[in-house]
Amino acid sequence: MNAAATASRPDGAPPWASRRGPRRHQADGAAVYRGPTGRLAAAVADGVGDSEGAGFAARLVADHAVRVAALEGRPDVALLAAHDLLTSTHDLVPGDAAAVVALGPGAGDPRWRLAWVGDCRALAWDGRSLRTLTADHTVAAELRARGLHVHPRLEHVLTVSVRTVRPQEVGIAVVDEPGTVLLVSDGVHRSVAAPALAAALAGGGSAAERAERIVGLAAAAGTTDNATALVLTGPAGG
């Protein structure tokens, strides 16, 4: 398993798995962080392109976003903070990324909060069904919404990214008791069908073991991209 971005997790192994696949570089990042109040934030980021710069940007975005989300209680603010970080350090960090951030329940806020840009996804598994909580920011998604034919290459063309996002473009969702939350890069969701993802989540084991099963499915399906899965279970994602 190739290492993704790491933010400290005090209670054991990271709840994610990541594989480089056939790419030259690992350009996915993942991170979790539990803030001073105990609120947990998690993120998956997918660097744009196949380069060291893309991977560094993804890891930086994931690590920064989880800390801001846990401290501010706003995953959308976290993505805008990551945007500010990339744009203010352009000479040092020229890369870009898609990202999804999940914030678990906190005191006075029993719901899960999600924010995303690009084509990383969040899904919820309640033990019976799997549902997608996010909507891709891609040219393909825009054309499909208009009922138009979509060329497969357009699935990978982002309309919003961490570097380019404006505040009104951040995707936002609030979810009551989602059960298990799954965050994935497009190397997973474009290669593994929903029934297979659901079966992997239902198969038991730790969050890390289930995440490893999911990226293994992506590899077996012949994904041509990096594949990353992060699994959050329980009311606070522990």
Is 60 exceeded by the pLDDT of residue 8?
no
pLDDT in tens, 205-236: 999 999 999 999 999 999 999 999 999 986 55
Is 70 exceeded by the pLDDT of residue 10?
no
Is 60 exceeded by the pLDDT of residue 3?
no
Give residue 112's pLDDT. 96
Give residue 146's pLDDT. 80
Give residue 63's pLDDT. 98
Is 70 exceeded by the pLDDT of residue 6?
no
Token readout for 148 is: 């138009």
Q: Please report the domains of the chain, with CATH numbers, ordered by start residue.
A: 16-232 (3.60.40.10)
Token readout for 74 is: 């706003």
Give residue 236's pLDDT. 57
Cα–Cα distance, 43 to 30 (Å, whole number) = 6
Instruction: Give me the phi and psi of 82, to 5 degrees please.
Output: -65, -40
pLDDT in tens, 63-122: 999 999 999 999 999 999 999 999 998 888 889 999 999 999 998 888 999 999 999 999
Give residue 108's pLDDT. 84
Percent of the chain with pLDDT over 70: 93
Give residue 34's pLDDT. 95
Is 80 exceeded by the pLDDT of residue 36?
yes
Give residue 145's pLDDT. 80
Give residue 238's pLDDT. 53
Query: Do the bridges between strand 16-19 and strand 28-34 make them parallel or antiparallel, or are there none, so unpaired?
Result: unpaired
Q: Label each residue of the chain as H, E or C.
A: CCCCCCCCCCCCCCCEEEECCCCCCCCEEEEEEECCCCCEEEEEEEECCCCHHHHHHHHHHHHHHHHHHHHHCCHHHHHHHHHHHHHHCCCCCCCCEEEEEEECCECCECCEEEEEECCCEEEEECCCCEEECCCCCEHHHHHHHCCCCCCHHHHHCECCCCCCCCHHHCEEEEECCCCEEEEECHHHHCCCCHHHHHHHHHCCCCHHHHHHHHHHHHHHCCCCCCEEEEEECCCCCC
pTM for the complete prediction? 0.91
**Of 62, 46, 151, 49, whose CA–CA distance to 102 is shortest?**
62
Give residue 170's pLDDT. 98
Q: Could you give the angle at which helices 194-202 and 207-220 cross, rounded to 10 degrees?
A: 150
pLDDT in tens, 130-162: 999 999 998 877 887 887 777 777 778 899 999
Residue 46: how many CB atoms within 10 A of its CB? 33
Q: Which of 2-6, 57-61, 71-75, 108-112 has the lowest mean pLDDT?
A: 2-6
Is 50 exceeded by the pLDDT of residue 5?
no
